[in-house]
């Protein structure tokens, strides 16, 4: 099972907490999935509604590790300030660091990401950077203090799956011992299985479960997919080949011409 | 004095960040704060004086992905 910054998690599934039809369905989805980590955020609070307190009460009941994010931040300063506010609110050094560089694709600003990761790591944060699968970027993130990397599968919320399997495989080979998580872009469980089959330690998703017709069933589907993927990776899958090869022995076949 | 709170204009009587939080209805609430885009930890709210025109951010735990 994956270990992030010294903390072992008993699931390869990390789930977001946004966009569910109701708090009850959110809680049921977490229970059925067995997810060990929930991503959460900080947002402006109006004086009257106390929505923050209600959400806080809900996530405490989930009994999972919390990974606050800096979602929606487009600058280093904004991300760093948001991370500090999140650390105080959720009482954890973990931060899913997002520094968004492009409004339409939600692609990370990789230059700002490295700078923010260094600032936060030096300040005692344990950074989970939402990044691309670029090897050079990932080297720089590791040098900046990141002990886990979270490359995207596809742009956030698209459900396209793993757009660059080659790049993700290269990253796994380049960092054999670093925890790697595919974060964002997954739409169906088979894509999660594919990520784990590549040797990734976990997947992080939100929309695919929250926006499914039956989020609770989809959460269980993803849970089973990551288990299947992990078994396949441990079992050392066969190499694909171009030519057919009979699986039934030819020796001993009856001559019936 | 006039300040900005979460992007909206507010007229407040109090001058410390802690007192402003109470005045705006956040007394005892689980919130984090920033002033002029810099984080202000809860331990420093009493001694953080807010000036006319300052920008205060008040955030709470919320759903995220």
Residue with tokens 């990734």: A200
Residue range A132-151: average pLDDT?
A: 98
Residue range B1-25: average pLDDT?
A: 95
What is the rounded distance in angstroms from the CA atom of residue A90 to the CA atom of residue B47?
23
Count CB atoms within 10 A of the CB of residue A234.
Answer: 10
Among A69, A196, A173, CA closest to A129: A69
Q: Which residue of B has its CA nearest to A184?
A: B65
- pLDDT band per the 50, 70, 90 thresholds, residue A109: very high
Pick from B26, B42, B63: CB nearest A47: B26
Residue range B5-20: average pLDDT?
A: 95
**Is B3 part of the contact surface with chain A (CB cutoff 8 Å)?**
no
Pick from A16, A47, A55: CB nearest B61: A55
pLDDT at A224: 98
- pLDDT band per the 50, 70, 90 thresholds, residue B29: confident
Residue B32 CA to its chain's centroid (Å): 8
Per residue in A169-211, pLDDT tens? 999 999 999 999 999 999 999 999 999 999 999 999 999 999 9
**Is B4 part of the contact surface with chain A (CB cutoff 8 Å)?**
no
A84 neighbourhood in chain B, CB within 8 Å: 32, 34, 39, 41
Among A111, A149, A104, A143, CA closest to A128: A149
Q: What is the ipTM of this complex?
A: 0.95
What is the rounded distance in angstroms from the CA atom of residue A191 to the CA atom of residue A160?
9
**Is A74 part of the contact surface with chain B (CB cutoff 8 Å)?**
no
Assigned token pair, A216: 């609770």
Pick from B24, B37, B41: CB nearest A47: B24
A25-29, A87-91, A123-127, A248-252: range with lowest mean pLDDT = A248-252
Task: Inspect the interface and report whether the beta carbons of A55 and B63 lie closer than 8 Å.
Answer: yes
pLDDT at A47: 64
Per residue in A17-62, pLDDT tens? 999 999 999 999 999 999 999 999 999 987 667 788 889 999 999 9
**Is B22 part of the contact surface with chain A (CB cutoff 8 Å)?**
no
Residue with tokens 């900080």: A42
Task: Inspect the interface and report whether the beta carbons of A18 and B24 lie closer than 8 Å.
Answer: no
User: Judging by beta carbons within 10 Å of its beta carbon (0-12, 13-18, 19+), is residue A77 exposed, middle or buried?
Assistant: middle
**Is A58 part of the contact surface with chain B (CB cutoff 8 Å)?**
no
A26-35, A107-116, A244-253: range with lowest mean pLDDT = A244-253
Q: Give yes or no: A224 in active site.
A: no
Task: Inspect the interface and report whether the beta carbons of B30 and A52 lie closer than 8 Å.
Answer: yes
Residue A110 CA to its chain's centroid (Å): 18
pLDDT at A48: 65
């Amino acid at each position: 099972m994956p270990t992030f910054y010294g903390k072992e998690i008993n699931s390869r599934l990390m789930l977001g907490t946004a966009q569910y039809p109701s708090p009850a369905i959110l809680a049921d989805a977490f229970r059925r999935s067995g997810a060990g980590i929930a991503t959460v955020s900080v947002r402006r609070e109006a004086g009257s509604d106390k929505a923050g307190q209600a959400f806080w009460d809900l996530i405490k009941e989930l009994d999972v590790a919390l990974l606050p994010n800096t979602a929606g931040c487009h600058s280093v300063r904004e991300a760093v300030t948001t991370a500090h506010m999140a650390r105080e609110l959720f009482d954890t050094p973990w931060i899913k660091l997002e520094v968004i560089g492009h409004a339409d694709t939600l692609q990370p600003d990789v230059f700002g990401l490295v700078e923010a990761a260094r600032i936060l790591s030096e300040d005692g944060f344990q950074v989970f950077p939402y990044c691309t699968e670029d090897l050079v970027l990932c080297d720089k993130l590791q040098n900046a203090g990141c002990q886990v990397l979270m490359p995207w599968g596809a742009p956030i919320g698209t459900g396209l799956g793993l757009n660059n399997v080659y790049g993700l495989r290269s990253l796994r080979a380049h960092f054999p011992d670093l925890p790697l998580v595919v974060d964002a872009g997954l739409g169906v469980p088979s894509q999660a299985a594919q990520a784990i089959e590549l040797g990734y330690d976990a997947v992080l998703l939100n929309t695919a479960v929250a926006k499914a017709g039956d989020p609770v069933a989809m959460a269980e589907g993803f849970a089973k997919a990551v288990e299947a993927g992990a078994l396949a990776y441990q079992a050392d899958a066969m190499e694909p080949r171009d030519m057919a090869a009979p699986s039934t022995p030819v020796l001993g076949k009856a001559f019936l011409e | 004095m006039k300040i900005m709170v979460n992007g909206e204009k507010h007229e407040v009587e109090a001058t410390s960040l802690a007192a402003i939080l109470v005045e705006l209805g956040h007394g005892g609430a689980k919130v984090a704060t920033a002033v002029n885009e810099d984080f202000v930890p809860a331990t420093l709210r009493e001694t953080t004086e807010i000036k006319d025109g300052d920008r205060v951010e008040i955030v709470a735990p919320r759903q995220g992905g």
